Amino acid sequence: MGNSALRAHVETAQKTGVFQLKDRGLTEFPSELQKLTSNLRTIDLSNNKIESLPPVIIGKFTLLKSLSLNNNKLTVLPGELCNLKKLETLSLNNNHLRELPSTFGQLSALKTLSLSGNQLRALPPQLCNLQHLDVVDLSKNQIRSIPDIVGELQVIELNLNQNQISQISVKISCCPRLKVLRLEENCLELSMLPQSILSDSQICLLAVEGNLFEIKKLRELEGYEKYMEKFTATKKKFA
């Protein structure tokens, strides 16, 4: 795109605090944005071809609350991203990410994290340090098992649909706020689904269609009635 068009976007963003430039074939993060590090609250650069984020610039957006880079070509995130202490929403769906920076747990304001359609092979342990995280989407990755550390997650909703999960730690029942657990289209045998999810957890919506068992078998498990009581009570609350 031409420089004048980009300049116009930058000028608008200066007034609104919102910079949105989608579907423009951008191959790199616009360096012009470094002029706006102190007043941008939202950046949306989805549907481009950006391969990396500039470490020097990205950590300076001190007021940034929302960052969207869905449908790009990111393979790695710089540690400097974790300096964004006001960031509440981070959307990185459909990139090529294999892991998160070790300092990711420093994004202390983060509430919503979307990482669907990447190449993660494990549940990132850094997520357990995020005390305000409400919703995490890790669907369409390559995760094979859910380890004990999952019990420390503070999330309300965890989406693990369309992975390769065949094992889940019983500790998932210990998540203090987890209400919605999505496990559709994985590789779970019924014997690998901890029954405590049904009877001893906060979970009131469990989605497990498309695994290696019939849903009617789930209904025969001990604890299913207790789960249905929670499910029905929640349904009534939102009706």
User: b/e map of 62-97 (b: 16 or more CB within 10 Å)?
Assistant: ebbbbbbbbbbebeebbbbbbbbeebbbbbbbbbeb
H helical segments located in the chain:
3-16, 55-58, 196-199, 215-218, 224-238
What confidence tens digit (pLDDT) does each residue in 135-183 have?
999 999 999 999 999 999 999 999 999 999 999 999 999 999 999 999 9
Q: Does pTM top 0.85 for this prediction?
A: yes
32-39 average pLDDT score: 93
Q: At 166, is the secondary structure helix, strand, or coil?
A: coil
* Pair 70, 94: CB distance under 8 Å: yes
d(CA 40, CA 38): 6
Q: Give the C-alpha distances (Å, rounded to integers) separating 169 from 89, 90, 165, 175, 208.
A: 28, 27, 11, 11, 16
186-195 average pLDDT score: 97
d(CA 18, CA 141): 30
Architecture of the structural domain at 1-237: Alpha-Beta Horseshoe (3.80)
pLDDT at 1 over 60: no
pLDDT at 239 over 90: no
